[in-house]
Amino acid sequence: MTVEISDPVFTTLRLNPNGPLFLDSHVNRLERAYTALFDTAPKIDMDDLERSLSIISQNRELPCLVRIQVHRDGEVAMIPRPLETYESSIHLITQPLPSGIKDQARYKQGDWEAYSNTRKNAIMNGGDAALLVDQGSIIDGDTFTPLFAFGDGEFVIPDPMMGAVESITLGKLAHYFGKRIRINQRKVTMAELSVCLDALAVGTGIGIRRIASIDGTTLQSDLEAGLENILCEIEDKGFIEGLS
């Protein structure tokens, strides 16, 4: 994945009929990415952002996705696009992690073409989305974070320091549930999927979906593993719709 230092950093949020979802968190991640890559803090006017998002909401079918990007010169641009629809359970196809830094969390920068290509390849091979792997370890999803349930009530996401992108949706979900759930961050290998009890895909565009299979192998869906309770509550509360 070739990225020029001058390429803009970006984040993609969900714009619901009742407003943007998790706007403050998206802007915070955007500011941290800009500062890390350009060694200076960006000047992002929240009032301008909210006005622009309001204009978009009046001219687009909602919900939709909006990419907010900040160029090195400080210019802010917004690019709306339709929100794709998914079944409640999705099927993943593994794809190699795009090249780049592998010993720290990644920021969204540039055209993101390498990640888009993993999604296209997954769809061509009969999947809904791509699960990104490197040397036998699960690193990330193409536009989501995988959340796994193992024995003894352990919920796990792959260690972000192995090259994943920070998930805004997962972070807000963890905050919503507070001490009721604990999500560990550690290395997750493909071999461990044989003892995985349940799994979810969590992301801005994909929402929160059960992972039904990976590379054609059906995953367990143990209703006692704990993820079913999470899924039911967030659906009842309208978490992704911004109602909770």
pLDDT computed for residue 4 by the predictor: 55
Assign domain 9-82 to its CATH architecture: 2-Layer Sandwich (3.30)
- Domain borders along the chain are 9-82, 89-237
H or E stretch covering 10: strand 9-16
pLDDT computed for residue 1 by the predictor: 43
pLDDT per residue as tens digits for the range 12-31: 999 999 999 999 999 999 99
Cα–Cα nearest to 30, from 64, 73, 76, 63: 76
What confidence tier does 2 reach under pLDDT thresholds 50, 70, 90? very low
How far is Cα 139 from Cα 137, in angstroms, rounded to an integer? 6
pLDDT per residue as tens digits for the range 214-237: 999 999 999 899 999 999 999 999
pLDDT computed for residue 5 by the predictor: 57
Diameter over CA atoms, the chain:
51
Beta pairing, strands 188-189 & 76-82: unpaired
Which CATH number does the domain 89-237 belong to among 3.20.10.10, 3.30.70.580, 3.50.50.60, 3.30.70.1350?
3.20.10.10
Cα–Cα nearest to 94, from 216, 8, 206: 216
pLDDT per residue as tens digits for the range 64-116: 999 999 999 999 999 999 999 999 999 999 999 998 766 677 889 887 899 99
Strand, coil or helix: 235: helix
How far is Cα 97 from Cα 118, in angstroms, rounded to an integer? 8
Give the number of other CB atoms < 10 A from CB of residue 220.
13
pLDDT computed for residue 105 by the predictor: 78
pLDDT mean over 157-181: 93
How far is Cα 120 from Cα 48, in angstroms, rounded to an integer? 34
Query: What residue type is assigned to position 164 of the chain?
Result: A
Task: Say what the pTM is.
Answer: 0.93
% of the chain at pLDDT higher than 70: 96
How big, in percent rounded to 5, are the helix, strand and coil portions of the chain? 30, 30, 35
Cα–Cα nearest to 143, from 92, 195, 70, 179: 92
> Looking up tokens 């795009």, which residue turns up?
98
121 vs 153, which has greater pLDDT? 121
pLDDT per residue as tens digits for the range 103-149: 677 889 887 899 999 999 999 999 999 999 999 999 999 999 999 99
